[in-house]
């Protein structure tokens, strides 16, 4: 596929045949000044709703650019109905979790504050930008939303009856749990912080009928590794890798 444009951009604007798409100042700067593209050059665009489109630069100035959509190159594709809930850790590792969750096909990313969460604040807009960048890189047409930080208690109090919560429980290290035994349908994976879950949280979680505790093998994984491993196992057993 050598004629594929090297640059893929996420835009908010609607996409369709002949549609003009004005770029943000930052995106125009990136295309024109950094990547040195000129009028006539092709790029791929997606907006999370209309699939992927081939577009051409119609106007290029230092401070702005306008693209024109030509034809659709991929249909809109939603990932499976899988959320990732995780307790934020150090900044770089939290960024990594969000980037990997977007690549692995999570539909929604929900940072949760747990008893042993050491980080009290997240930059939701920064994390959302990481999810967009990951979607641009990995060829996806969907961008998972990154929710605001919520307490695990609040999230559990409101937990939808039809959504299985796959609880990665370090207390089950070494148990032989199979993701293929999980119920089908909407799901979410829950990954704890470096300090793991408290006994109160474990009791609260296991009392909920939608919760299934799982082991991620015989070794204790760091939270960022655990998130990627659990997403891979779920995608292979229940998601779109099958």
Q: Where along the sequence are the contacts to ligand SAH (CB under 6 A)?
A: 168-170, 172-173, 191-192, 194-197, 215-217, 219-221, 223, 226
Cβ proximity to ligand SAH: between 5 and 196 the closer is 196
CB of 130 to ligand SAH, least distance (A): 20
CB of 131 to ligand SAH, least distance (A): 21
Cβ proximity to ligand SAH: between 107 and 226 the closer is 226
CB of 193 to ligand SAH, least distance (A): 6
Report the sign of the C-alpha dihedral through residues 194, 196, 201, 205, in that order. Answer: positive
Helix pair angle (91-103, 223-238), 10° resolution: 10
Specify burial of residue 111 (Cβ count, 10 A radius: 0-12, 13-18, 19+).
Answer: buried
Cβ proximity to ligand SAH: between 18 and 218 the closer is 218
Separation CA 129–CA 143 (nearest Å): 10
CB of 15 to ligand SAH, least distance (A): 38
CB of 6 to ligand SAH, least distance (A): 37
Cβ proximity to ligand SAH: between 78 and 175 the closer is 175
CB of 61 to ligand SAH, least distance (A): 49
Token representation of residue 225:
């590794």
Contact 179, 236 (CB under 8 A): yes
Q: Which residue is nearest to ligand SAH (CB)?
A: 192
Q: Which of 79, 80, 78, 1 is nearest to 44 (CA)?
A: 1
Chain position carrying tokens 């590794």: 225
Separation CA 224–CA 89 (nearest Å): 9
Cβ proximity to ligand SAH: between 99 and 169 the closer is 169
Separation CA 137–CA 9 (nearest Å): 9
Cβ proximity to ligand SAH: between 138 and 173 the closer is 173
Contact 85, 188 (CB under 8 A): yes
Element (H, E) at 82: strand 82-86
């Amino acid at each position: 596929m050598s004629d594929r444009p090297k640059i893929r951009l996420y835009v908010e604007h609607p996409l369709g045949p002949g549609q003009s798409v004005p770029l943000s100042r930052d995106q125009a700067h990136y295309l024109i000044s950094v990547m040195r593209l000129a009028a006539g050059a092709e790029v791929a665009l997606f907006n999370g709703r209309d699939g992927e489109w081939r577009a051409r630069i119609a106007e290029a100035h230092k401070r702005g650019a306008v693209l024109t959509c030509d034809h659709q190159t991929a249909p809109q594709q939603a990932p499976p109905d899988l959320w990732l809930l995780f307790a934020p850790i150090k900044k770089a590792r939290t960024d990594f979790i969000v980037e990997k969750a977007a690549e692995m096909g999570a539909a929604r990313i929900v940072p949760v504050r747990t008893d042993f969460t050491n980080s009290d604040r997240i930059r939701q807009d920064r994390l959302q930008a990481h999810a967009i960048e990951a979607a641009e890189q990995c060829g996806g047409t969907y961008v998972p939303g990154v929710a605001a930080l919520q307490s695990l208690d609040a999230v559990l109090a409101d937990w939808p009856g039809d959504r299985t919560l796959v609880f990665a429980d370090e207390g089950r290290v070494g148990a032989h749990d199979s993701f293929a035994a999980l119920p089908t349908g909407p799901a979410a994976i829950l990954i704890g912080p470096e300090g793991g879950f408290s006994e109160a949280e474990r009791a609260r979680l296991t009392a909920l009928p939608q919760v299934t505790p799982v082991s991620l093998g015989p070794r204790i994984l760091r939270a960022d590794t655990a998130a990627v491993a659990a997403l891979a196992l779920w995608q292979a057993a229940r998601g779109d890798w099958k």
